[in-house]
């Protein structure tokens, strides 16, 4: 279904009524599952993700190929539920897109976690996608950060992610094109967008994924908006963690 | 079911023997202090995903968690080549009223569904899609659902179209204990909360639906005055000696002698006789849908070594073949032996009876689940 992007320029409001620099409603919970070492549940608009962390645990010796060495091995398994999309569709684990997201997340967290503290061990992140409406990779990264914090695995800083897009892909209305923050599924299908993740409050970009074409001139604007959005996301995630922290402190004082 | 698929409990023969003895006492002592029929507390919620037709989530006390999402799609029915009305050729009555009855009967006959209209899949983290565990669990759950042939009738739209129901079951945690009851109860709640758009077209037209979700109809319609039909539930029952234990934990399963998966359904019934209703409020019309014996994980546990075969205690060590033959005749209390052989018929009958009886476990569970959807 093509998105009628022409309406944006009339009122400068997007399909769901947001302005260009507004995030969707972002809510999260941590410690949702008692059996896991760390777990979290995150909603970005209608995208809903659950993350559970197992580990750091002893590496499973599979086929004599011992993983590890002197650093912990971060493994990511993404499971896209059949009912998550508009139409019911089963995606196998060998799906190329899923595998790419898995490696992206695994690489990002092997950089930010202090993996050298856990030699010969694995940290398994299993991510379940319950409902998808755009910004999937960003939601997965944010949920993983929260679950890893819940599991108590030391890290440099939060990895916070969000998406940024641009209103027009044609050169004709170059001046009028606006960058957009946090795209939903309809916008993702129509507009060029990128997923950016930064390390904490800094401007250090740890993940940058872009699969669509865009003019090079627009990239800087999109990136600036994305990095700015990541800072907003960090604030929200930080509040979730702090809220959990105060709850634990209060419980321990009784 | 291959018991290797569930996680092995790491208990020594001495610990297993201790557990087995305490469970075979009268009254038995369970490791967590529950009574025989007591279930562990659970957290349940329904309608958690707005993008599905029905969904539910259940969290058991041991931390295992499952989510079920149900999606429905309209599908074209395969044409049936059955000659219309070939049953009532012989009798030719032109009585008007009789004709009416026969037509409605014929209609009911045509509203029969096919089992392929329901697709169930179970996903367990860390297991392959075609792993025997998930395939077996999906088969067992769909078996219970399709057993009485009533369920697929609900998916019938008209002679040319029907609903295709996709039931996706996700186990979010590692399968700590045998996950069948968890998945079954979650599926039950999800089916109860499933809603289908209201049909606006008539007869055999191409189906046209009301686009108001508020007007949608429940797959299992709720009636307040009569007991309505409910989706099946599958419960795990185990026995140690003559003690029948419900909702076993994984440690208890490690010493189980018999494990049964009992599927129970509830049929709708009209108005019950007024006299019956006075004291019990209302009765449930429970029926047994399926029973399966499950190979208990206790068969794979390591056996204990009796003093007579242990050199450390002055016995004589035997070769492996000798040990296994001597173990056959051994019946020493306090030395753990993995259970051998099948279950006694009497015991199985007693287990099923205990599930189905009035005021029994199945009724209790159904009552509990009913409270969830109301809340």
Of B50, B63, B69, the CB nearest to A33: B63
Distances (CA, A) of B72 to A129, B53, B155, B186: 19, 7, 9, 18
User: Does B62 contact A at CB distance below 8 Å?
Assistant: yes
For B187, counting Cβ atoms within 10 Å of its Cβ (0-12 exposed, 13-18 middle, 19+ buried), the class is buried
Of A16, A23, A7, the residue nearest A225 (C-alpha)? A23
In the numeric block, which tokens belong to residue B238? 């185990």
If you compute the radius of gyration of chain B from its CA atoms, what whole number of angstroms results?
25
Cα B272 from chain centroid? 27
Does residue A46 belong to any structural domain of this protein?
Answer: yes
Domain that residue B344 falls in = 3-301+336-374
Give me the percent of chain A exceeding a pLDDT of 70: 90
Pairwise CA distance, residues A185 & B221, whole Å: 34
Does residue A9 belong to any structural domain of this protein?
Answer: no
Model confidence at B90, in pLDDT bands (50, 70, 90)? very low
Taking 60 as the threshold, does the pLDDT of residue A231 lie above it? yes
| Cβ contacts from A onto B, under 8 A | 73
Count of other CB atoms within 10 angstroms of residue B38: 15
Tell me if residue B154 falls in helix, strand or coil: helix
Domain that residue A241 falls in = 24-59+70-253
Q: What angle do CA B69, B56, B182 make, to 5 degrees?
A: 100
Average pLDDT of the segment spanning A127-154: 94
Q: Rounded to the nearest 10 degrees, how much is the dihedral formed by the CA atoms of B221, B224, B227, B232?
A: 40
CB contact under 8 A, B173 and A46: no
Tell me if A116 sits within 8 A of A71, measured CB to CB: yes
Taking 80 as the threshold, does the pLDDT of residue A5 lie above it? no
Does residue A161 belong to any structural domain of this protein?
Answer: yes
Does residue A165 belong to any structural domain of this protein?
Answer: yes
Taking 80 as the threshold, does the pLDDT of residue A241 lie above it? yes
**Optimal mutation site among A82, A91, A93, interface B, most CBs of chain B within 10 A:** A82
Lowest mean pLDDT among B98-102, B121-125, B236-240, B259-263: B98-102
Q: A155: domain CATH number?
A: 3.30.230.70
CB contact under 8 A, B172 and A48: no
CB contact under 8 A, A35 and B52: no
Model confidence at B7, in pLDDT bands (50, 70, 90)? low
The β-bridge relationship of strands B118-123 and B161-171 is parallel
Please report the pLDDT score of residue A174 as a whole number: 61
Q: B184: domain CATH number?
A: 3.30.230.70
Please report the pLDDT score of residue A4 as a whole number: 57
CB contact under 8 A, A33 and B69: no
CB contact under 8 A, A81 and B67: yes
Cα torsion angle, A152, A153, A156, A157, sign: negative
Which of the 8 DSSP states describes residue A113? B
Does residue B185 belong to any structural domain of this protein?
Answer: yes
Q: What is the pLDDT of residues A15-51, one digit of tens each?
A: 888 888 899 999 999 998 888 899 999 999 999 999 9
Q: Where does chain B show beta strands of DSSP type E?
A: 42-46, 54-60, 65-76, 118-123, 161-171, 195-196, 217-218, 230-240, 243-246, 258-266, 286-294
Does residue B45 belong to any structural domain of this protein?
Answer: yes
User: Does A98 contact B at CB distance below 8 Å?
Assistant: no
Count of other CB atoms within 10 angstroms of residue B340: 9
Which of chain A's residues have a Cβ under 8 Å away from the Cβ of B168? 81-83, 88
Does residue A111 belong to any structural domain of this protein?
Answer: yes
Which of chain A's residues have a Cβ under 8 Å away from the Cβ of B173? 33, 35-36, 52
Please report the pLDDT score of residue B164 as a whole number: 92
- Phi, psi (deg, nearest 5) at residue B8: -75, 135
Please report the pLDDT score of residue B275 as a whole number: 41
Could you tell me the pTM of the whole model? 0.85
CB contact under 8 A, A82 and B129: no
Model confidence at B4, in pLDDT bands (50, 70, 90)? very low
Distances (CA, A) of A183 to A22, A165, B278: 10, 7, 60
Of B129, B170, B176, the CB nearest to A128: B170
Lowest mean pLDDT among B18-27, B75-84, B159-168, B258-267: B75-84
Distances (CA, A) of B97 to B90, B105, B108, B290: 18, 12, 17, 39
Domain count, chain A: 1
Of B191, B211, B192, the residue nearest B200 (C-alpha)? B211
Instruction: ipTM value, please give it.
Output: 0.85
Does residue B312 belong to any structural domain of this protein?
Answer: no
CB contact under 8 A, B49 and A128: no
Which of the 8 DSSP states describes residue B333? T
Given the structure tokens 């999309």, which residue do they identify?
Answer: A85
Domain count, chain B: 1
Q: What is the rounded average pLDDT for all residues in chain A?
A: 87
Taking 50 as the threshold, does the pLDDT of residue B279 lie above it? no
Please report the pLDDT score of residue A250 as a whole number: 93
The residues facing A206 across adjacent strands are: none
Does residue A7 belong to any structural domain of this protein?
Answer: no
Tell me if residue B224 falls in helix, strand or coil: coil
User: Does A75 contact B at CB distance below 8 Å?
Assistant: no
Pairwise CA distance, residues A78 & B215, whole Å: 36
Q: What is the pLDDT of residues B116-152, one digit of tens each?
A: 899 999 988 877 777 888 888 899 899 888 887 788 8
A75: closest chain B residue by CA: B126
CB contact under 8 A, B176 and A46: no
Is the model more confident about B91 or about B224? B224
Of B64, B69, B71, the CB nearest to A35: B64
Count of other CB atoms within 10 angstroms of residue B88: 11
Pairwise CA distance, residues B25 & A33, whole Å: 35
Does residue A186 belong to any structural domain of this protein?
Answer: yes
**Optimal mutation site among B64, B71, B72, interface A, most CBs of chain A within 10 A:** B71
Q: What is the rounded average pLDDT for all residues in chain B?
A: 80
Please report the pLDDT score of residue B348 as a whole number: 92
Which of chain B's residues have a Cβ under 8 Å away from the Cβ of A90? 121
């Amino acid at each position: 279904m093509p998105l009628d992007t022409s309406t944006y320029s009339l009122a400068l409001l997007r399909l769901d009524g947001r302005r260009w620099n507004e995030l969707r409603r972002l809510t999260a919970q941590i410690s949702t599952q008692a059996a896991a070492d760390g777990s979290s549940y995150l909603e970005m608009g209608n995208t809903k993700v659950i993350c559970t962390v197992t580990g750091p645990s002893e590496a499973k010796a599979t086929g004599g190929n011992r993983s590890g060495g002197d650093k912990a091995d971060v493994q990511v398994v993404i499971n896209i539920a059949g009912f998550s999309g508009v139409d019911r569709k089963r995606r196998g684990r060998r799906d190329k897109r899923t595998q790419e997201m898995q490696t992206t997340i695994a690489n990002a967290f092997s950089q930010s976690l202090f993996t050298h503290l856990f030699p010969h061990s694995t940290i398994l992140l299993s991510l379940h996608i319950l409902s998808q409406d755009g910004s999937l990779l960003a939601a997965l990264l944010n949920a993983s950060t929260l679950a890893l914090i819940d599991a108590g695995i030391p890290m440099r800083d939060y990895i916070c992610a969000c998406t940024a897009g641009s209103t027009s892909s044609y050169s004709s209305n170059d001046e009028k094109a606006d960058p957009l923050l946090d795209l939903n599924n309809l916008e993702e299908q129509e507009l060029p967008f990128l997923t950016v993740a930064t390390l904490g409050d800094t401007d250090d970009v740890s993940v940058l994924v872009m699969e669509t074409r865009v003019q090079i001139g627009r990239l800087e604007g999109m990136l600036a908006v994305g990095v700015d959005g990541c800072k907003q996301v960090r604030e929200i995630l930080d509040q979730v963690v702090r809220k959990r922290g105060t709850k634990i402190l209060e419980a321990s004082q009784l | 079911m291959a018991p290797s698929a569930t996680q092995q409990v790491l208990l020594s023969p001495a610990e297993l023997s201790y557990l087995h003895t305490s469970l075979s006492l009268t009254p038995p002592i369970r490791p967590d202090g529950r009574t025989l029929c007591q279930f562990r507390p659970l957290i349940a919620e329904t309608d958690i995903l707005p993008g599905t037709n029905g969904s539910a989530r259940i969290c058991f006390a041991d931390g295992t968690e499952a989510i079920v999402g149900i999606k429905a799609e309209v599908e074209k029915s395969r044409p049936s080549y059955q000659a219309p009305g070939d049953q009532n050729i012989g009798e030719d009555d032109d009585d008007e009223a009789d004709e009416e009855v026969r037509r409605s009967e014929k209609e009911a006959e045509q509203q029969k569904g096919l089992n392929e209209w329901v697709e169930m899949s179970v996903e367990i983290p860390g297991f392959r899609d075609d792993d025997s565990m998930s395939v077996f669990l999906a088969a067992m759950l769909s078996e219970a659902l399709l057993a009485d042939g009533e369920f697929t009738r609900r998916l019938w739209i008209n002679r040319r179209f029907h609903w295709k129901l996709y039931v996706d079951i996700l186990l979010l945690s590692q399968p700590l204990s045998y996950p069948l009851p968890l998945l079954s109860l979650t599926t039950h709640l999800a089916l109860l909360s499933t809603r289908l758009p209201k049909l606006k077209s008539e007869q055999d037209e191409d189906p046209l639906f009301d686009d108001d979700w508020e007007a949608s109809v429940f797959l299992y319609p709720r009636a307040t005055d009569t007991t309505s039909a409910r989706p099946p539930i599958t419960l795990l029952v185990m026995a140690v000696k003559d003690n029948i234990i419900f909702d076993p934990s994984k440690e208890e399963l490690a010493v189980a002698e018999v494990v049964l998966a009992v599927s129970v359904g509830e049929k709708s019934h009209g108005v019950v006789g007024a006299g019956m209703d006075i004291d019990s409020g209302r009765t449930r019309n429970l029926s047994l849908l399926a029973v399966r014996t499950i190979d208990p994980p206790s068969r794979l546990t390591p056996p204990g070594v009796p003093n007579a075969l242990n050199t450390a205690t002055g016995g004589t060590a035997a070769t492996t073949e000798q040990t296994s033959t001597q173990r056959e005749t051994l019946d020493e209390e306090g030395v753990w032996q993995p259970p051998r052989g099948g279950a006694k018929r009497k015991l199985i009958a007693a287990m099923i009876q205990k599930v189905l009886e009035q005021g029994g476990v199945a009724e209790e569970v159904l009552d509990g689940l009913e409270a969830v959807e109301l809340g």
